[in-house]
């Protein structure tokens, strides 16, 4: 794909959409898999089971932030080295990243598994769902290294412009997960009935099988990033690569940690209103994953294309990529959000049986979803800057808006105003708008005046 970046605007659009569509489909499919799981859980195990998953997720996301940060950083380095035509350096990035990911995932798994009960109590998780949530969480944490490896390897593959392969194997993973859910939850085919824990076992098993299939496929097709001797010889911690990786990964991880810790605080505000509010929060967040598909997909595509353009020393193309990403965000994002507003109640009723829980969830959806367009614009601008190695200020702005805007606004409005629980929801659009203003101001006044260059040399 690196050669295509140097062609005309029409070719750029074609190549961008060729990459973007599988990424979007992958995000939709991933969300669909999660929603099917929640449908099965909610309809058969009840709202308490949904609340148990929702209560645990912010802390899980907090620990997953480290893997997401590493994946984000490594994909930029892979993109830059691939764009420069330096395959040896690219494979070195892959090997070193895998070595570090292995160490990190084991540490995070142990910390999460043994600390989850205390954390959930600290988050004021309702007592009627605490044991369920702890049991579910421990299964996922003990098997986290599998998930870390799978996530990281797919980001490598996208870094070289291949979004089709990750999509194919996501289809495999989601299909397996859905197939495993009923037997493990209800005890079909002579298996024990694991209940909610069956959903966790299904997720783990599908990730493991898919990871093995992915590595086998890459080897059989002689993919540029297959796990062979040329990659494994770099399976060690190397200072030069790690320094560049950390420059990108640490701010990205800090951003994700800031978001996840804020969500832990926010769900604490929500939990005060009971398990119905917690269940509504979890369901709407799953639906929100669909509303955010254009924003997140365009951000990934923008990051990969900008990194490759920088590696190929085509800085003029960087501006064209960003501009295209912003336009696509408003077109696709606007269409999805409009449909969600129109069909809000029927959608929510698929997951939730209790009328009061549906009402809570509908308020959350109506108040927040329009602001995902602003969120998407911000993501595209941030992705452009991060792909060129500019990560400090975007991270600072994100952390500041979360902790000086979102959390205080949610706390004050939900505790000291007539908005009550709706005050938590109002804090989201307020935060997205403030964040956009700060990021865009720096983009115009700071980033555009910089001299851009790739991070890794020969």
* C-alpha–C-alpha distance, residues 94 and 88, integer Å: 10
Using alpha carbons, select from 197, 195, 194, 202 the residue that is nearest to residue 177.
202
Using alpha carbons, select from 376, 389, 3 the residue that is nearest to residue 160.
3
Averaged pLDDT score across all residues of the chain:
85
pLDDT at 222 over 70: yes
Tokens of 48: 């308490």
Cβ neighbours of residue 177 closer than 8 Å, sequence gap 6 or more: 33, 37, 202, 203, 206
Tokens of 175: 């299909």
Classify residue 32 as exposed, middle or buried by CB count within 10 Å of its CB (0-12, 13-18, 19+): middle
pLDDT at 1 over 50: no
Name the more confident of 396 and 351. Answer: 396
Q: What is the DSSP letter of 451?
A: P
pLDDT at 165 over 70: yes
Question: What is the predicted pLDDT for the residue at 6?
Answer: 47
Q: At what angle do helices 372-387 and 392-401 cross, to 10 degrees?
A: 150
Q: Strand (E) positions, 212-309?
A: none
Convert the pLDDT of each residue in 355-409 to its tens digit: 888 889 998 999 999 999 999 999 999 999 988 888 888 989 998 999 899 999 9
The number of helices, as runs of H, and strands, as runs of E, in the chain is: 18, 0
Tokens of 429: 């659009």
Taking a C-beta distance cutoff of 8 angstroms, is the pair 366, 372 a contact? no
Convert the pLDDT of each residue in 36-79 to its tens digit: 777 777 777 777 777 777 777 767 777 777 777 888 788 888 88
Cβ neighbours of residue 436 closer than 8 Å, sequence gap 6 or more: 374, 375, 377, 378
Taking a C-beta distance cutoff of 8 angstroms, is the pair 66, 252 a contact? no
Tokens of 281: 């929060």
Using alpha carbons, select from 29, 108, 120 the residue that is nearest to residue 65.
108
* C-alpha–C-alpha distance, residues 242 and 382, integer Å: 22
Tell me what percent of the residues of the chain surpass a pLDDT of 70: 96
Convert the pLDDT of each residue in 111-122 to its tens digit: 878 888 888 788
* C-alpha–C-alpha distance, residues 370 and 116, integer Å: 34
Burial letters 157-185, b for 16+ CB under 10 A, else e: bbbbbbbbbbbebbebbbebbbebbebbb
Convert the pLDDT of each residue in 281-313 to its tens digit: 888 887 887 788 889 899 989 988 998 888 877
Q: What is the pTM of this model?
A: 0.76
Convert the pLDDT of each residue in 410-458 to its tens digit: 999 998 999 989 999 999 999 999 999 999 999 988 887 776 666 565 5
Return the SS3 of 347.
helix
Q: What Rg, from alpha-carbon coordinates, does the chain have? A: 21
């Amino acid at each position: 794909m690196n050669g295509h970046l140097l062609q005309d605007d029409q070719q750029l659009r074609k190549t961008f959409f060729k990459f973007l569509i599988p990424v979007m489909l992958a995000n939709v499919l991933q969300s669909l898999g999660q929603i099917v799981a929640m449908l099965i859980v909610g309809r058969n195990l009840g709202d308490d089971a949904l609340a148990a998953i929702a209560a645990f997720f912010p802390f899980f996301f907090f620990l997953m932030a480290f893997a997401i940060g590493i994946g984000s950083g490594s994909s930029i380095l892979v993109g830059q080295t691939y764009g420069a035509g330096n395959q040896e350096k690219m494979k070195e990035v892959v090997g070193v990243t895998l070595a570090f990911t292995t160490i990190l995932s084991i540490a995070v798994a142990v910390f999460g598994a043994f600390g989850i009960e205390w954390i959930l109590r600290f988050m004021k998780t309702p007592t009627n769902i605490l044991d369920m949530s702890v049991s579910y969480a421990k299964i996922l944490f003990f098997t986290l290294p599998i998930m870390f490896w799978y996530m990281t390897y797919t980001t490598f593959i996208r870094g070289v412009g291949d979004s089709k392969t990750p999509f194919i194997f996501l289809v495999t993973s989601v299909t397996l997960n859905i197939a495993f859910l009923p037997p493990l939850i209800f005890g079909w085919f002579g298996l024990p009935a694991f209940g909610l824990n069956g959903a966790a076992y299904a997720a783990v098993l599908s990730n493991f099988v898919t990871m093995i299939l992915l590595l086998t496929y890459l080897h059989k097709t002689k993919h540029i990033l297959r796990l062979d001797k040329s990659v494994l010889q770099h399976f060690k911690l190397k200072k030069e690569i790690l320094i560049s990786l950390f420059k990108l990964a640490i701010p990205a991880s800090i951003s994700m940690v800031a978001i996840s810790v804020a969500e832990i605080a926010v769900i604490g505000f929500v939990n005060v209103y009971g398990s119905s509010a917690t269940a509504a929060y979890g369901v709407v967040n799953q639906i929100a994953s669909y509303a955010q598909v254009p924003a997140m997909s365009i951000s990934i595509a923008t990051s990969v294309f900008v990194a490759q353009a920088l590696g190929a020393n085509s800085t003029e193309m960087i501006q064209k990529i960003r501009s295209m990403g912003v336009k696509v965000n408003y077109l696709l994002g606007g269409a999805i959000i409009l449909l969600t507003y129109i069909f809000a109640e029927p959608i929510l009723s698929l997951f939730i049986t209790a009328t009061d829980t549906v009402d809570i969830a509908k308020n959350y959806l109506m108040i927040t979803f329009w602001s995902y367009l602003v969120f998407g614009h911000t993501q595209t601008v941030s992705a452009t800057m991060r792909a060129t190695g500019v990560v400090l200020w975007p991270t600072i702005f994100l952390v500041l808006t979360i902790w000086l805007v979102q959390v205080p606004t949610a706390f004050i409005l939900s505790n000291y105003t007539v908005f009550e629980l709706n005050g938590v929801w109002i804090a989201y659009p307020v935060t997205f708008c403030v964040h956009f203003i700060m990021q865009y101001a720096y983009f115009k006044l700071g980033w555009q005046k910089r001299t851009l260059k790739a991070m890794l040399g020969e």
